[in-house]
């Protein structure tokens, strides 16, 4: 069985690696769009114009399902994509609900693109699951490009993460797949304060398994 994975840049490769590890019998086709980075600054219409032909390409290649390994695309336009395409689309979105369940300080942090943080879906997640919880939203607007260029250093990461810990965050949500490539650096900073770092790869793989069971 063939499935597709789409992301704007290299971030989605971490999702591909997780799928290959857990579901080695699958054929995974990966498409990204590095020429149009960053997606986090794009309008909804710009995202639709960029993403629709790439999802169509994956379907034309015979993919039974497509993982949208991009929080920006998922939170902004996945409803439009699902209306357009018949195959299952599995999205990634910030893990607000599980983070709220874990926090003891009632303060969490979400590292995400500006487009994700400004999306209606993200606002709905906070409204539904984060009542009474402080949600910190640091400026990570240039992280994706810096990660693509291998130019995001430890000092810059620490200057963003440390203030979150000082404000009492005990759970940090990685709301962009690009950030998975610096997860170890973030964990190294967070572990000094016994802070948990969350990313959705395991949850996405489990969701994919359920979808594939329904398709088989």
What is the distance between the alpha carbons of residues 23 and 189, in angstroms, rounded to a whole number? 32
What does pTM read for this prediction? 0.90
* CATH code of the domain occupying 96-198: 3.40.50.1860
> Is it the case that residue 20 has pLDDT exceeding 80?
yes
Reply yes or no on whether 63 is catalytic.
no
Q: Which of the residues 63, 111, 140, 176 is marked catalytic?
A: 176
% the chain with pLDDT above 90? 84
**Intrachain domains 2-93+201-215 and 96-198 with the same fold:** yes
Q: Which of the residues 63, 70, 111, 140 is marked catalytic?
A: 70
Reply yes or no on whether 111 is catalytic.
no
pLDDT, tens digit, for every residue of 162-180? 999 999 999 999 999 999 8
Contact indicator for 18, 184 with CB cutoff of 8 Å: no
| Mean per-residue pLDDT over the chain, rounded | 94
Contact indicator for 109, 123 with CB cutoff of 8 Å: no
Taking domain 2-93+201-215, whether its CATH number is 3.40.50.10470 is answered by no
> Is it the case that residue 35 has pLDDT exceeding 90?
yes
Please report, in angstroms and rounded to a whole number, the separation of the first and last CA atoms in the chain: 9
Q: What is the pLDDT of residue 81?
A: 98
Domain residue spans of the chain: 2-93+201-215, 96-198
pLDDT, tens digit, for every residue of 115-158? 999 999 999 999 999 999 999 999 998 998 889 888 888 888 99
Give helix 120-129 / helix 71-84 axis angle, nearest 10°: 110
Q: What is the pLDDT of residue 34?
A: 92
Contact indicator for 72, 7 with CB cutoff of 8 Å: no
pLDDT, tens digit, for every residue of 83-124? 999 999 999 999 999 999 999 999 999 999 999 999 999 999
């Amino acid at each position: 069985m063939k499935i597709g994975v789409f992301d704007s840049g290299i971030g989605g490769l971490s999702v591909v690696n997780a799928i290959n590890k857990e579901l080695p019998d699958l054929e995974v086709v990966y498409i990204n769009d590095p020429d149009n980075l960053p997606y986090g600054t794009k309008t909804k219409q710009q995202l639709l114009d960029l993403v629709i032909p790439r999802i169509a390409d994956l379907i034309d290649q015979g993919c039974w399902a497509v993982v949208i390994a991009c929080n920006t695309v998922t939170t902004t336009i996945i409803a439009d994509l699902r209306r357009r395409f018949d195959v299952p689309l599995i999205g990634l979105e910030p893990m607000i609900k599980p983070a709220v369940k874990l926090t003891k300080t009632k303060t969490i942090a979400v590292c995400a693109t500006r487009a994700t943080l400004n999306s209606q879906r993200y606002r709905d997640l906070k409204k539904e699951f984060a009542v009474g919880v402080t949600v910190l939203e640091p400026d990570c607007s240039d992280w994706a490009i810096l990660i693509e260029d291998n130019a995001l250093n430890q000092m810059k990461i620490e200057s963003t993460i440390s203030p979150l810990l000082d404000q009492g965050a005990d759970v940090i949500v990685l709301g962009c797949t690009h950030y998975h490539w610096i997860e170890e650096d973030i964990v190294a900073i967070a572990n000094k304060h016994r802070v948990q770092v969350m990313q959705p790869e395991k949850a996405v793989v489990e969701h994919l398994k359920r979808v594939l069971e329904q398709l088989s």
